[in-house]
Amino acid sequence: MANTWTLKTLHKKSAETHTFMSRGGCRIKIVESFRWGSVLLETDGAMPPVIDLTNPSGLNTYEVPDTEWNLDTFDDGWSSDIELVKGKMSSEKLKKLEELFREKNLEGLEEVAG
């Protein structure tokens, strides 16, 4: 029987989401920062997931063993950045992508990529 566990941030301004997008040999990472956040972790058994709750470098939910996860809530966003992680792109084009993201969020970037 599956069980669902909620994992929440303990400190203010400590939640981030990372979204990756690729096009034409370039890959960008969108980092959105939030004051608070939580994810839902699902395990097959009755035992909670094994997580080191002291994680000053952060916690990547992909690395929590034997779990499936979903975003739950992320509140009060306070920052977002776009980083080029693969390929070459001018700083002007990257800046235009950041402006588009601020105006139209992911949907705007998907329109450009489509």
Question: What was the pLDDT predicted at 114?
Answer: 58
User: Are 38 and 4 spatial neighbours (Cβ–Cβ below 8 Å)?
Assistant: no
The structure's pTM equals 0.81
Distance CA 107, CA 39 (A): 23
57: region left, alpha or beta (phi > 0 left; psi from -120 to 50 alpha):
alpha
* Sequence-distant (≥ 6) Cβ neighbours of residue 112 within 8 angstroms: 23, 97, 100
* Angle CA 94–84–98, to nearest 5: 35
Q: What is the mean pLDDT of each run of 10 residues along the chain (114 residues)?
A: 90 92 92 94 90 84 88 92 93 91 88 70
Looking at residue 76, its pLDDT comes to 93
